[in-house]
Amino acid sequence: MKGSNGEVLFKSKDKTSSRYGKRPEERSLNELLQKGIVNIDKPRGPTSHEVTSWVKKNPWYIKSRTLRNA
């Protein structure tokens, strides 16, 4: 087993069933609001906490969660 970093090793040949789950790029807007990220250009002044709270207070709630070690 050799090769550069990140080369993919296939341990078994599996297919994924279309009955469960969904590819991330096929998510609807509502699903993206649950499992999505917005990269906001924060202006000078308000703190990052304030900005996240404004975005979250929107009727279309944008869920943010802390990803530890990521």
Residues with Cβ within 8 Å of 42's Cβ and at least 6 positions away in sequence, in order, are 48, 51
What is the distance between the alpha carbons of residues 60 and 31, in angstroms, rounded to a whole number?
11
| DSSP 8-class letter at 13 | -
Helix, strand, or coil here: 14? coil
Residue 7, token pair as written in the block: 């080369």
Within residues 8-67, the interface with other proteins by CB under 8 A covers: 8-12, 14-17, 20-25, 27-29, 32-33, 35-43, 51, 54-55, 58, 60, 62, 67
Q: How far is the CB of 40 from other proteins (least distance, A)?
A: 6
Residues in the interface with other proteins (CB under 8 A) total 45
Which chain residues interact with other proteins by CB under 8 A? 1, 3-12, 14-17, 20-25, 27-29, 32-33, 35-43, 51, 54-55, 58, 60, 62, 67-70
